[in-house]
Structure 1
Amino acid sequence: MLDSNTLYVKDENGKEVAMEILFTFANEEMGKQYVVFVDPNDDSGEVFASCYDDEGNLLPIESESEWEMVEEVLGAFNEEEL
C-alpha cells in the first residue's frame, strides 16, 4: 500500500519528480493494485496511472483491457468529486 499522498517517478531525463496521488485501488479480478496520480506542477490536467506491487514499486499497465478498467474507475472518481 502506498502510504503518503506523494510518490516519486523518474522523468525522461532520469530526474525524480514528485507526483500527487489522487487515489489507489485494487482489482481482485486482475489481482493487481493501482495508483492514479497527477503532476501538481503541471496545469494540463493530465492524469497518470500505474500498477504497484507490495513494496510500492510502480509497474506498467500492459493491456488495453486494464486501461479501460482504470478509465472506468477514474470516471467514477471524477463523478464523485463533482
Structure 2
Amino acid sequence: MAEEHNHNHEEENIIWITNEEGKEEAYEILFDFDSEDFDKSYVLYFPAGKGEDEEIEILASSYIQHEEGKQGELKPVETDEEWDMIEEILATFLADEDEE
C-alpha cells in the first residue's frame, strides 16, 4: 500500500505520514539514498520526538518524489535483496556515526 507523505522545507528532516486511521504522524528522516541496482530511491526514518537514550525502530521505504518536491509516495520494500542492501547501507551508516 502506498502512503502519501508531506514535508515542509523549514522542517527538512521531518516527513508526515498518514496512518491507516487517517491520523498524520511525524517521522524524522535518518537518511535517504538512491540505488542504481534497483533503480529506486529509499528513505530510512523513525518516529519523531524520541529521546536520544530511547531505543527506536528504524523504518525503510522506497519512495517516488512528486515533481513539486514537497510531497511524495512511500512504497514498501519489495524483495529480500532490497532489504539486504538497505541493512548493509544502514550498518555502514551506523558504524560511521559511532566513529564520530
Per the normalisation by structure 1, the TM-score is 0.87
After superposition, the C-alpha distances for 1:2-39 in whole angstroms (9 at most, x for unaligned) are 86211111234221101000101000111000000011
Rounded to whole Å, the distance in 2 between the matches of 1:10 and 1:64 is 26
Candidates 71, 81, 84, aligned match of 1:65: 81
5+ long unaligned stretches in structure 2 = 1-6, 67-71
How large is the RMSD of aligned CA atoms in angstroms?
Answer: 1.7
TM-score by length of 2: 0.73
Larger radius of gyration: 2
**Bigger mean CA deviation after superposition, 40-49 or 25-34:** 40-49
- In the TM superposition, structure 1's runs of 4+ consecutive aligned residues that sit over 2 Å from their partners are 10-14, 40-44
The alignment covers a number of residue pairs equal to 81
Determine which structure has greater relative contact order: mean sequence separation of CA pairs < 8 Å that are 6+ residues apart, divided by chain length.
2
Counting aligned pairs with the same residue, the percent is 38
Q: Which runs of 5+ in 1 are unaligned?
A: none
